[in-house]
Structure 1
Amino acid sequence: MGILQWLFDAKIQFGNGQFILWREVLGNLFGLLSALGGMRRKVWAWPVGIVGNLLLLTVFLGTVFGSPNAVNLLGQAGRQVMFIATAVYGWYRWYGATHSGGAAVEPRWASWGTRALLVVAMVGGTALLTPIFSALGSFPPVWADAWIFMGSLLATFGMAKGWVEFWLIWVAVDVVGVPLLVSAGYYASAFMYVFYGCFTLIGFFVWWRVNAREKVQVQVHMPDPTVSRGRRTEG
């Protein structure tokens, strides 16, 4: 109980009465480690991320857990629950792939139809959740909280499916998330969002190159049969 009590109460003081909760720092560090594992397509990225999600859930439900920063961000809190549920799916999917003799996930581009559905889900989900979060007392501007929730849901699902575009969804989340978190007083998370924004762009290009490299390898090992037939005809 002593360690748990410390974890809930510990904070870093700075400036004129400002502070950062250690739970917020640790939760974001676990999230960063999970993102790094995801970029490298490591299965351990999922359970590590779950630990960070549990810590951040207690942070963003400030009034529920008696946090020194008594501000509720329901979109931020709700997405931690969503992260955990989606992480279980991603963990199962990647773990099963590695034990079938393959890589945890093979990065690939989503189809144009899937991209259209992602855009519709992002915009429509934000519009649907905004009045709900507003009625529940989420921190304004509420649409930003709803946007972060929907983007996080779609990005995590996209990571589990292996879509390269999921990194770009994270960028869209980070752009909106930074000013919202600063205004709500969650400075550690805001700082990490800035860092995540740069990191997700790197992750996007890493998965892009992996996809291109694996596509070339497939073409080398499985040449176009029409080309092969043409060469035999010429011979």
Structure 2
Amino acid sequence: MGVLNSLLESTLIIGGVPILWREIIGNLFGLASAYGGMKRVVWAWPVGIIGNLLLFTVFLGGVFHTPQNLDLYGQAGRQVMFLCVSLYGWWQWSAAKRKGLRECQDVDPSRSIVSEPAAVQPHWASKQQRLGMVVFAIIATVVFAGVFQALGSWGPWADAWIFVGSMLATFGMAKGWTEFWLIWIAVDIVGVPLLLSAGYYPSAALYVFYAAFVLWGFFTWLKVQRQQASSALSSPR
């Protein structure tokens, strides 16, 4: 426990600014999870959960006495939300993967080695689902802004949208909606200025990197989606 506590409390000094190693490590786990999500592999979810647990303690800076000593309840709360939705996504993708493996074996029962199928197939959300996301985003952002302001959050409106947008994006990833990548971009646009002004520099830097990574992920899923549509059209009926 002593070694673990030392690791969690250790800081890196950059430009005279102390930065917690657990903020850096937590964001690296988040990045690994995003990469796994782009590749549509199940391990993306448990890896992300580890990062969520670390970053929860980082963004409650006043509670855990971080160098910033600021409480961002939206950022901390979304780590709890990530954990809950990630458990759902983990279960959903695992079930889809098991189904895919069974289907592969059914096609050729004599095969002893089965190529691992992707855990989810990218597709667009329906018009009704998109409308539901927009309505939820507006109402939930207003509600959580009031809640975070009452709790004393630093930057409650930006904090609220980051929380709500992250919720929508993570749920969309679990459902296989290609739009979830675009929601992440909207989260990043708000998140970078908030984190820079609050002094969470590793997280802000990762948000900038995420913006480029998210575009890559979006076009990767879009390519897969188009390939699936092309295969469906060319396959014999």
TM-score (norm 1): 0.91
Partner of 2:25: 26
Aligned-partner Cα distance in 1 for 2:14–2:25:
18
Aligned-partner Cα distance in 1 for 2:217–2:72:
27
Please provide the CA RMSD for this pair: 1.1
Alignment of 1:121-200 (within 5 A): 121-140=136-155, 142-200=156-214
* 1:210 correspondence with 2:209: no
2:145 is aligned with what amino acid?
T
SS of equivalent residue, structure 2 residue 62? coil
Which of 211-220 and 185-194 deviates more?
211-220
Q: How many aligned residue pairs are there? A: 221
Runs of 4+ in 1 over 4 A off after TM superposition: none
SS of equivalent residue, structure 1 residue 68? coil
1:48 is aligned with what amino acid?
V
User: Quick check: 1:79–1:149 contact (8 Å CA) kept in 2?
Assistant: yes
SS of equivalent residue, structure 2 residue 61? coil
Residue deviations 1:139-197 (CA, integer Å, cap 9, x gap)? 02x10000000000000000000000000000000000000000111000000000001
2:132 is aligned with what amino acid?
L
TM-score (norm 2): 0.90
Q: CA deviation at 1:104?
A: 0.5
Of residues 89, 110, 117, the one that matches 2:132 is 117
Q: CA deviation at 1:222?
A: 4.4
Kindly name which structure, 1 or 2, has the bigger radius of gyration based on alpha carbons.
1
User: Quick check: 1:8–1:67 contact (8 Å CA) kept in 2?
Assistant: no
1:32 is aligned with what amino acid?
L
Flag structure 1 segments of 5+ consecutive residues without an equivalent.
224-235
Q: CA deviation at 1:221?
A: 1.6
Aligned-partner Cα distance in 2 for 1:63–1:30:
23
Q: CA deviation at 1:103?
A: 3.0
Flag structure 2 segments of 5+ consecutive residues without an equivalent.
101-116
